[in-house]
Amino acid sequence: MSLREPPVMCMIHDCATGETTERELTEEEYAIRDDMQADAEEQQAIMAQKQADAVAGRQKLLDLGLSEAEVTALVGAPPPDGASDVEAPDPA
Amino acid sequence: MGNQQWVLETHIPVNNATSSITFSNNNGQYATNDIGGTTIMSYTNAPVYRIHFKVRFLTSANSLGSSNFYFHGNYSSSNDFTYDYASANTNTSMSPNSAVGTSRDYGYSSGNQQLGYGSMGSQFSNHAWGTAVNDLDGNSVAANSRRRGAWITGWFENHFPDQAGYYPWHYQIGIVTDQHNDNSASAPTADWGAWCIGAGGCSAGPYIDTITIGSGYNFIGDFFLFRGMNGNYQANE
């Protein structure tokens, strides 16, 4: 019986025999995995906030009357525009 | 071709999603020369371990967190990844003459070497070319299909013996992908890729008869373990 559904597996390859075995994670390994995913979600939220702050801050500088070049000199270049996708170019 | 120093010791194809893979008994395999002579790949005979790989993390999270791509040798303790230059928190945008948000990542006495900041998830769905496409045989291929995701590619290398040297790991990984990897519906975004280059070590080792690579997210991929030997012991025909 699995500890979780669906079970999360890991692989062990024995170089001496060439055999590969699979087993489900242990309770301890599941706990470590949960911690890692929680860390990732925290990082995701931090990054999203940083991006939002950068966009808002840049706009406030522009609203103060600074030129694009002046803002870029102060805080760096804005995120680059997305390149046209050759498989689905922008509609004319 | 004459006998050579490098041996492809083994290959682990990971077609079914898994959370970690382990190369075990790395020193129990033999190199074979062109007349059938064998040499065991011990620490002394084959001191260099190099793993080349490609990997995809089966998650839509584009920010994995540092610990969500890791590896270690025999000891999952006392690992220091001390000289590690990575893109932003996990990913960055790059255009000619501009790489935004690069940062240093490091840790001491960790359970593993951590490369998550150089990685990204691969299950993103908002490709500009549509949520589903048909292949040449007319089969619908979903946006988050394995056939459409971006690979993280790279290598790790370690060498033995240097028991007093704490920094034998060297590594480099990277991924570049569609601008919609953050699952936003509109372009542009800054999330185009991630990369990491650095070195680390383990003060509890560095023994590497076992090497484990894992993540908090399931992954698929291909992992090749090469060994560098201290003589020409292998016929690579």
Which pLDDT belongs to residue B195? 81
Q: What is the mean pLDDT of chain B?
A: 82
Cβ neighbours of A17 in B, within 8 Å: 25
Across A46-55, B56-65, B116-125, B182-191, least confident range: B182-191
The domains of chain B are located at: 20-25+55-226
Range of the domain at A21: 9-74
DSSP letter string, A14-33: ETTT--EEEEEPPHHHHHHH
CA distance B121 to B174: 12
B68 touches chain A (CB under 8 A): yes
Q: For residue B57, is pLDDT > 50?
A: yes
Specify the pairing of strand A9-14 against strand B6-24. Answer: parallel
Q: For residue B104, is pLDDT > 80?
A: no
For residue A4, tell me if it sits in a domain: no
DSSP letter string, B57-107: E--S-S---GGGSEEESS-SSSEEEEEEEEESSS-B-EETTEE-SEEE--E
CA distance B23 to B56: 19
Q: For residue B22, is pLDDT > 60?
A: yes
B13 touches chain A (CB under 8 A): no
Which is more confident, B145 or B188? B145
State pLDDT tens for residues B224-235. 999 999 999 999
Cβ neighbours of B11 in A, within 8 Å: none
For residue A26, tell me if it sits in a domain: yes
Counting the structural domains of chain A, the total is 1
CA distance B208 to B168: 11
> Percentage of chain B surpassing pLDDT 70?
78
> Which of B9, B50, B63, B89 to mutate to test binding with chain A, by most A CBs within 10 Å of its CB?
B63
The one-letter amino acid at B4:
Q
> Which of A43, A87, A90 to mutate to test binding with chain B, by most B CBs within 10 Å of its CB?
A43
Other CB atoms within a 10 A radius of the CB of residue A38 amount to 12
Q: Which residues contact B57 (CB under 8 A, 6 or more apart)?
A: B64, B68, B69, B119, B120, B121, B122, B152, B215, B217, B218, B219
- C-alpha neighbours within 13 Å on the C-beta side of residue B201: 15
> Which of A17, A22, A47, A84 to mutate to test binding with chain B, by most B CBs within 10 Å of its CB?
A47
Q: Could you say which of A40, A51, A87 has the minimum Cβ distance to residue B216?
A: A40
| Cα four-point dihedral sign B171, B12, B46, B163 | positive
State pLDDT tens for residues B168-212. 889 999 887 765 555 554 444 445 677 888 888 888 877 889 999
Longest dimension (CA), chain A: 70
Output the CA torsion A47→A48→A54→A55 (10° steps): 160
Which is more confident, B163 or B197? B197
Which pLDDT belongs to residue A13? 96
pTM for the structure as a whole: 0.82
Cis-peptide into B188, omega within 30 deg: yes
Q: For residue A81, is pLDDT > 50?
A: no
B53 touches chain A (CB under 8 A): no
- Taking alpha carbons only, the member of B89, B176, B174, B160 closest to residue A47 is B89
Other CB atoms within a 10 A radius of the CB of residue B18 amount to 21
Q: For residue B71, is pLDDT > 80?
A: yes
Instruction: Quote the minimal CA–CA distance from B110 to chain A in Å.
Output: 13
- C-alpha neighbours within 13 Å on the C-beta side of residue B107: 15
> Which letter, b or e, does each residue of B190-201 get, where b requires 16 or more Cβ atoms within 10 Å of its Cβ?
bbbbbbbbbbbb
Q: For residue B40, is pLDDT > 90?
A: yes
Instruction: Quote the minimal CA–CA distance from B23 to chain A in Å.
Output: 5
* Residues facing B70 on adjacent strands: B114, B214
Q: For residue B62, is pLDDT > 90?
A: no
Which pLDDT belongs to residue B42? 93
- Taking alpha carbons only, the member of B178, B67, B64 closest to residue A47 is B64
Which pLDDT belongs to residue B93? 55
ipTM: 0.82
Which pLDDT belongs to residue A83? 37
> At CB < 8 Å, which residues of chain A contact B?
8-18, 20, 22, 25, 29, 32-37, 39-44, 46-47, 50-51, 76-77, 79-83, 85, 87-88
Length of chain B counted residue by residue? 237
Q: Which of residues 145-164 of B touch A (CB under 8 A)?
A: none
For residue A51, tell me if it sits in a domain: yes
